Amino acid sequence: MKIIRAKDYNDLSRKAANIISAQVILKPNCVLGLATGGSPVGTYAQLVDWYNKGDLDFSEVTTVNLDEYRGLPRTHDQSYWYFMQKNLFEHVNVRPDAVHVPDGSNPDAEAACKAYDQIIHDLGGIDLQLLGIGPDGHIGFNEPADHFPLGTHCVDLTESTIEANKRFFGGNADLVPKQAYTMGVGTIMQARKVLMVANGKGKAEIIKQAFFGPVTPEVPASILQMHPDFTLVGDEEALSLI
């Protein structure tokens, strides 16, 4: 496990974008696993900036996102598909048919999850997986549990995640979908590189628990301690307890 200390959110975003750029430059046809949420927004903005300056080319890149709300169509402004279009895909030259997000509009959970695992399998796995971390230690939508789920599956969101995400639904928890399709912890662990971004005081306690406490499915991110190529980039606040 490597820990990179950044001064602030801007510095964190540049450092994380640097690692992703290195991946794209070294392997132009790489498979990038991507995340939504607040943490990676600055990273995506930095990648777009470097793309606009001509320093990055996404024409051969394929992407697979971690998760999607079940029941939200792609066009919904809170779907993760939409988030990715607005924050990255619309601004760079990634091919529209090379971007993948679980199909939240498919009500058949088993079929939707199986199809997503097949996509990742057919791509030969993920070269670099970008992650955030939830306040309860979740990665993707893998919430605290008594085991580490392997493949893509349908989850019930916990109260804590619904609370954390209601800010994106006008502050109304009733509007937050109650289920999601998420890549499993097994798939994340099979990524050849894993990069986590964490910022702010709110992440300090869970960062300490996840990476300096026991490896347990009660803190899903803790399993990353066992990943052979895991890098955490955090700002001073997020790393203040370690």
Listed ranges 84-92, 104-112, 126-134, 209-217: which one lies at the site for ligand F6R (CB under 6 A): 126-134
Closer residue to ligand F6R in complex, CB, 9/141 = 141
Nearest approach, Cβ of residue 67 and ligand F6R (Å): 5
Closer residue to ligand F6R in complex, CB, 51/141 = 141
Q: Which of the following is catalytic: 67, 117, 127, 235?
A: 67
Return d(Cα 225, Cα 121) in angstroms, integer. 24
Closer residue to ligand F6R in complex, CB, 38/213 = 38
Among positions 134, 184, 220, 234, the unique one binding ligand F6R when judged by CB under 6 A: 134
Q: Which amino acid is at 46?
A: Q
* Angle (deg, nearest 10), helices 41-52 and 80-87: 40
Return d(Cα 11, Cα 42) in angstroms, integer. 9
What's the start-to-end Cα distance of the chain, in Å? Answer: 14
Return d(Cα 117, Cα 1) in angstroms, integer. 26
Phi, psi of 80 (to 5 degrees): -70, -25
Listed ranges 3-11, 69-77, 105-113, 130-138: which one lies at the site for ligand F6R (CB under 6 A): 130-138
* Four-point Cα dihedral 153, 132, 190, 84, nearest 10: 70
67 tagged catalytic: yes
Half-sphere exposure of 6 (CA within 13 A, CB side): 23
121 tagged catalytic: no
Nearest approach, Cβ of residue 142 and ligand F6R (Å): 8
Closer residue to ligand F6R in complex, CB, 53/80 = 80
List C-alpha distances in Å: 118 to 31, 154, 160, 164: 14, 16, 31, 31
138 tagged catalytic: yes
159 tagged catalytic: no
Residues 19-78 that bind ligand F6R (CB under 6 A): 35-39, 66-67
Q: Which of the following is catalytic: 68, 103, 143, 235?
A: 143
Among positions 12, 88, 113, 139, the unique one binding ligand F6R when judged by CB under 6 A: 139
The helix or strand, by DSSP H or E, that contains position 237, with its residue range, turns out to be none
Residue 194 interacts with ligand F6R (CB under 6 A): yes or no: no
Closer residue to ligand F6R in complex, CB, 60/71 = 71
Question: Taking a C-beta distance cutoff of 8 angstroms, is the pair 66, 34 a contact?
Answer: yes
* Residues in touch with ligand F6R (CB under 6 A): 35-39, 66-67, 132-134, 138-141
Catalytic residues: 67, 136, 138, 143
